[in-house]
Structure 1
Amino acid sequence: MLQASTGEEVKWACINYKYLEKKKNYKNSGHVVLTQCKIEKVHTFLDYIMGGLQIFFTVAIDFTASNGDPRSEHSLHFINPKEPNEYLKTLSSVGEICQDYDSDKRFPAFGFGARVPPDFEVSHDFAINFEPENPECERIAGVIEAYKRCLPQIQLYGPTNVAPIINKVAAPAAEEEKTGLPTKYRVLLILTDGVVSDMPEACDAVVRASRLPLSIIIVGIGNADFSDMRELNGDRGMLESDEGRAVRDIVQFVPLREFKKAQPL
């Protein structure tokens, strides 16, 4: 029961109605005083789209050594002329759906976990077309071609750090958000084969990104332990980190091995 209000404080009386009926002098069992209240609107994906935002799709590919030497037929990155590898299959199946919703059909495509030319230093957010100022590829077909050209030029290395690429995609979204007039909704597709090496930083990045017009799709390639991905996915509830608690669930994890034998609809 709302009993009184003084200034900005709101006070509720805690009343035990059994006592109220039995005791003549009983008024309440104390008060709950609300001294501060913050209302924060949590926008859904549809809220952003109905508000007129355009969708922009970004791809990030795992080039860590755990994938195996691309020259070996046992590697997840092996280019088999008879059958596409799992990375190529995923790019085609997921990318071709997403590109129908992308506003300009041009996709920034990045790699992580590899040593890249010319200095062969490890990078976790390099453009796979080796054009850092213009990492966009024309449609998913362009991403696939850039991926094939990229493989022979890099050295698979590690570790599997995903926070840098999440932060890279989230940065322009955060800048737009500050203006109060964001015009783009970003979708980041991460293809990876293994355990996340920077889990605390990845959790922080996802929690921060949950406040932005951004969603993340993670596809697990191969047969590794993907428990970290499931944690990012929020299987145990809304993700929490040193950055606080995510305001919405923005990560969807899909282990490819569970869908390889599925019959087409």
Structure 2
Amino acid sequence: MDYFFEERENLRFDFYDVDSKSPNLSKHDFLGQMFCTLGEIVGSQGSRLEKSIVGIPGKKCGTVIVTAEELGCCRDSVLMQFCANKLDKKDFFGKSDPFLVFHRSNEDGSFTICHKTEVVKNTLNPVWQAFKISVRALCNGDYDRTIKVEVYDWDRDGSHDFIGEFTTSYRELSRGQSQFNVYEVTLLSFLIETEVSFLDYIKGGTQINFTVAIDFTASNGNPSQPTSLHYMNPYQLNAYGMALRAVGEIIQDYDSDKMFPALGFGARLPPDGRVSHEFALNGNPQNPYCHGIDGVMEAYYRSLKCVQLYGPTNFAPVINHVARYAASVKDGSQYFVLLIITDGVISDMAQTKESIVNASKLPMSIIIVGVGPAEFDAMEELDGDVVRISSRGRFAERDIVQFVPFRDYIDRSGNHVLSMARLAKDVLAEIPEQFLSYMRVRGIKPSPAPPPYTPPIHVLQTQI
């Protein structure tokens, strides 16, 4: 099976007692079913999941053990470098600021962004830094699958000017140095490397720890009103709930105890009305953990009923909260993912940049989901995909932030399940590479996987 960390891949196992006399499946005796996700198997200890079979009510139907093993062909990465010559001049003053965007093609003919180069300022003849990307991310292991490369001129306001594009394939790139004449882009080098993967670490026992931080500022609107982004609609999830469930239901498969810290910020708390930017949704600051995503959702709705939405919108306290835990576990046994869901313009930009630069040295990633109609220009700066984030002259060691506006993923037909799947796919796509970049920089190797499961041998004992 193709495995994607960023997607929820549901599996169903049906068990039958085979009637050898009948080729018709309906004639076999049905014994039961087992439901799980591929992530649940991969994320379990040693990538070995043991789960009960559900069958006839009141009857024990046994258990099934499923193990997962990564195929060797998914381990290759490539180190590539490109340059260009005489690109189109897009800026009125000065030359262009070009960068490349790589897309892999999907089975349905659509394209998914898999890499962006850095911006090379003020030149029509850029030489981009060499970059490494997994073959899986580049073409899903299909050497003849189309790879589309777009060339843009970077603009500060995010409205990057399109210069041109070309298509190629892994097989074509692997032939070595070549020139794509249409836009004068040249492949300078192409080196194949086989290395440890994200799944090697997960199988070796590394835990993904998930923390939620929710915006409780007054700009969200009164939760009792249908116009509020926090409106508790009895018939469907609000935008916060959809974002939380979309991301959380995938991440939770990689956390063995399914206990997640859930925080809020920007609210006045009872009984004294003090403003907090780092409060526990369950009301217990000494133990802010909730059981599973359902527990987080329950704590979120409970908080809406007892706190007063206020402000401002400060991110730094919740980032520093998770960073304190990440700083205490740097041996590769744990990795932390913080999900921030917010509706508005950030108030503590300087402090947040400082927090992100500091956190880039730690085993953690930050996902920011913007909900509602606000402009999120500042969030693009935090994302750091095009220009690496910096604070007081220091640049982030790694790109650890992924920002998306939820409105870009809402299905036009009103299918919320599809909206949530689209959101999760995009915001989680960068997590495995961010995880691996930390491990590579620190020289941390995955722990050995547990030995493969062998069924117990039943010895027949007799008396003489």
Q: Deviations over 1:100-147 (max 9, x none)?
A: 122321110000000011211110000010001110000000000011
TM-score normalised by structure 1 residue count: 0.78
Amino acid at match of 2:289: E
Q: 2:355 aligns with which of 188, 205, 220?
A: 205
Matches within 5 A, 1:1-265: 46=198, 49=201, 52-177=205-330, 181-242=331-392, 244-261=394-411, 264=418
Q: Is the 8 A contact 1:99 1:139 kept in 2?
A: yes
Q: Is the CA contact 1:48–1:213 (under 8 Å) kept in the aligned structure 2?
A: no
C-alpha distance in structure 2 between counterparts of 1:106 and 1:45, whole Å: 26
Q: Aligned partner of 1:110: which letter?
A: L
Contact 2:313 2:346 in 1 (8 A): yes
Percent identity of equivalent pairs: 56
Matched-pair contact (CA < 8 Å) for 1:232–1:239? yes
Query: How has the CA–CA distance of structure 1 residues 45 and 76 changed in structure 2, closer, same or farther, with 3 Å as cutoff?
Result: farther
- Report the Cα distance in structure 2 between the residues aligned to 1:122 and 1:77, rounded to whole angstroms: 19
Q: Distance in 1 between matches of 2:294 and 2:215?
A: 18
Count, aligned residues: 219
Change (3 A) 1:193 1:45: farther
| Comparing 73-82 and 45-54, the one that deviates more | 45-54
My pick for the range that moved more, 210-219 or 166-175, is 166-175
Distance 1:252 1:217 in 2: 5
**Residue type at the aligned position of 1:49:** Y
Q: What is the one-letter code of the residue matched to 1:203?
A: K
Structure 1 moving runs of 4+ over 6 Å: none
d(CA) in 2 for partners of 1:49, 1:144: 29
**Structure 2 stretches of 5 or more lacking a match?**
1-195, 422-464
Q: 1:171 is matched by which residue type in structure 2?
A: R
Q: From the two aligned structures, give the one with the greater strand fraction.
A: 2
Q: CA deviation at 1:46?
A: 3.6
Distance in 1 separating the partners of 2:348 and 2:229: 22
8 A contact 2:384–2:399 mirrored in 1? yes
TM-score (ref. length: structure 2): 0.45
Q: Partners in 1 of 2:396 and 2:205 — Cα distance?
A: 24
- Across the aligned residues of Structure 1 and Structure 2, the Cα RMSD in angstroms comes to 2.0
* Contact 2:208–2:251 under 8 Å retained in 1: no
Which 10-residue stretch deviates more, 63-72 or 95-104? 95-104
Alpha-carbon separation, structure 2, partners of 1:76 and 1:87: 7
The farther-off stretch of 98-107 and 150-159 is 98-107
Gaps of at least 5 residues in structure 1 are: 1-43
| Equivalent pair of 2:385/2:399 in contact (CA under 8 Å) | no
> Take 2:313 and 2:345, find their aligned partners in 1: how far apart are those partners?
7
Q: Deviations over 1:75-100 (max 9, x none)?
A: 00010112211111111111111111
Residue 47 of structure 1 and its aligned partner are, at CA, apart by: 9.6
* Separation of aligned partners in 2, 1:90 and 1:74: 18
- Structure 2 vs 1, CA of residues 210 and 199 (structure 1 numbering), >3 Å: closer, same or farther? same
How many angstroms apart in 1 are the aligned matches of 2:197 and 2:370? 23
Cα distance, 1:247–1:141 mapped onto 2, change above 3 Å: same
SS of alignment partner, residue 253 of structure 2: coil
Measured in 2, the distance between the counterparts of 1:65 and 1:243 equals 34
Change (3 A) 1:117 1:250: same
State the AA in 1 paired with 2:372.
Answer: G
C-alpha displacement of 1:60: 0.3
| CA distance in structure 1 between the partners assigned to 2:371 and 2:232 by the alignment | 15
